[in-house]
Homo-oligomer: A and B are copies of this chain.
Amino acid sequence: MKNSYWIWYPGDFELYHAMKQNFSRVERGMGWPAFWKSEGFRNRVVFRRTYQLQEETAFTVYSEAAGYVLAGDKKYPFGRKITCNPGEILVSVHAACIEKFPAIYIEGDVICSDGEWLVEDYDKPPVQAGYSRYFMNADQIPSVWNYDEKRYEPVSVEETDGGVLYGFETELTAQIEVRRINGADNTKKIEVFCGESREEAVDLEHCYYSWEFDPVTNRTPRCAVRFAFLPQCRKEEMSVSAFHQYVDIPVKASFSCDDELLNQIWAVAEHTFLLCSGIFFIDGIKRDKWIWGGDAYQSLFVNQYLMADPDINRRTLLALRGNDPMTTHINTIVDYSLYWILSVREHYEAYADEKFVRQVYPKMVSLMNFCEEQLDEHGFLIGREKDWIFIDWADLDKEGPLCAEQMLLAACYKAMAAMAVVVEGSVCTASAAYNEKYVELVKKIDQFYWDNDQSVYMDSFCSGKRHVTRHANIFAVLYGIADADRQTQIVDSVLLNDNIPAITTPYFKFYELDVLCRMGRYAEVLEQIKAYWGGMLARGAVTFWEEYDPNVPDEEQYDMYGDKFGKSLCHAWAASPIYLLAKYFAGVRITAPGGERYEVKPQMAFFRKIDCTVPVGTCRRIHIYGDAQHVNIEEIE
């Protein structure tokens, strides 16, 4: 018996589950669906495959869709065993569904469903079917994700604020199960307030989540929770457990050194990142619970060094990009469209996933074409009405084209040139054309944005303000747009220059610390990691936060966007220490796609002892252990 998968039109699975994800945000009893174009899956498809049968064989097609099977010229309903004679036979499976994407499962020794089937949507030419290793059983329903589940009992139970507060050992994405203990009043309405912090859980007015539990399962909906509060209850009335629901993506990395603070930062970053890595990379588990292109781009880097799971990359990238034609930017943000291009390249570098690049290359091209429709006379990318030129929450001078945006565009040209070669081979006019655009654009960037006196890239050349922020300069180093000399200048003129406003978000801190590492400023980076992430730990963080300002008093730490508990306390982009420690301190760097070649240069000046494992591609891991005198490096499977 061969392995069968549920199959669908490629991308449909991701588009459907992405909508579920992006529509799942809830805030104080109100749904808050993501505010961008949300695209549908297909409703009518046909799967086809021709077999050369050596002998008689039988198969059965399962589907919840409306449709039928055509084997040769005979029609059969779903669910019935079909026997075919030897010889050539074309099997077509017609399927239509409105509420969810049509999917089929074929059970059979020879004829069975996998990614080799072609599927057509009556619009574009046939393509290979989509599938997932998580859906290989006939009795599954691909529109329902089967989470793994782990039961947690509270580690603290406390009567307070007129109710009972249950604390768990860490933050979870869990359903809370509430059971009345014998004798407790059965008619009493029970509300469950779930908080990321103790303060949130007991604040009935401002707490994000309050649920009644399902009378059949005794469970609340799945949500971010560290503390669960039951108002107007007493300890002896109720029994409370949490059922943590997660996607089981094995961790392939470990980090241990003589500095316990760093070890703890790694552990908490790992937990944070796993919580935010479900069906997709999401920004945070309480808020927004959305799939953002910028956040996902950073998650790709952490994934490479923690789980090395290409599947979640693929799911996230397919979900973000949606269908052609492209009519609006990803998440409405121009930079996030550009990160998507860069993400595909990063994915390829990490896993040498040529098949995926081939699959999405047409969408890369159409995305680039869409962007190129909004270039000005110099070839600079400018926002259209309703486009969001984001880059960062910072005081950027956005008059006219923004320098940081052009840096991203240049990086995209380079990425496109590289991916064109993957798809079309090294003698490739598309690649040459993108390279040419890259050279042209970099010339223009130099001409318009580089300030030779200050040795900086300015935000804008239109406003005349000659305003400088770190962002464009960070990108200039990150993407190698500035040459080696300039990169060195930028370190002093910008990165280590206290007159240039500091980066305030962990989101951009990610890039800044990356760049400092690239420039060999390991000591500064290590210091910042310990101060910033260590600072959160000192405040009792069990997961890393969306933002942290050591100068804000404790009682205002959870405040953001003018909302008392608005800050996400478990945010993917705060997991960057994993990437930084693994790549620059354990020193593992891929030098050929998929890790076919790599280098390992642990920075033993900073450690007395080290024992780390770092994945390289999907199949190999590097074990680095030793002390300042001697370090062992071995490849393990």
Contact = CB atoms under 8 A, between A and B. Distances in A.
Classify chain A: how many residues form its interface, as a range.
35 or more
Given A31-B96, A33-B96, A41 B44 contact: no
B31 A19 contact: no
B98 A66 contact: no
Contact of A20 (B19, B98, B121, B327): B98
Contact of A122 (B23, B29, B38, B67): B38
A250 interface: no
Given A19-B43, A99-B98, A99-B99, A68 B30 contact: yes
A121 B35 CA distance: 9
B77 A29 contact: yes
Contact of A66 (B23, B42, B46, B75): B23
A60 interface: no
Contact of A40 (B41, B68, B76, B124): B41
A30 B19 CA distance: 30
Contact of A32 (B33, B68, B332): B68
A137 interface: no
A208 interface: no
Contact of A44 (B34, B123, B325): B34
Nearest to A325: B325
Contacts of A44: 19, 23, 33-38
Contacts of A65: 31
A77 B28 CA distance: 9
Contacts of A95: 33
A16 interface: yes
Contacts of A36: 44, 122
Interface in A10-29: 16, 19-20, 22-24, 29
A114 to B, nearest CB: 24
A39 interface: yes
Among A40, A94, A122, which residue has the most Cβ atoms of chain B within 10 A? Answer: A122
A235 interface: no
A99 B99 CA distance: 4
Interface of A: 16, 19-20, 22-24, 29-44, 46, 65-68, 75-77, 94-100, 121-124, 325, 327-328, 332
Given A33-B44, A33-B94, A35-B122, 20 more contacts: A20-B98, A22-B96, A23-B43, A23-B96, A30-B68, A30-B75, A30-B77, A31-B66, A31-B68, A32-B68, A32-B94, A35-B46, A35-B94, A37-B122, A38-B43, A38-B96, A39-B43, A122-B328, A124-B327, A325-B325
25 contacts: A19-B44, A20-B98, A23-B97, A29-B77, A30-B75, A30-B77, A31-B68, A32-B67, A32-B94, A33-B66, A33-B95, A35-B44, A35-B46, A35-B94, A35-B122, A37-B44, A37-B121, A38-B122, A39-B43, A40-B43, A99-B99, A122-B328, A122-B332, A123-B327, A325-B325
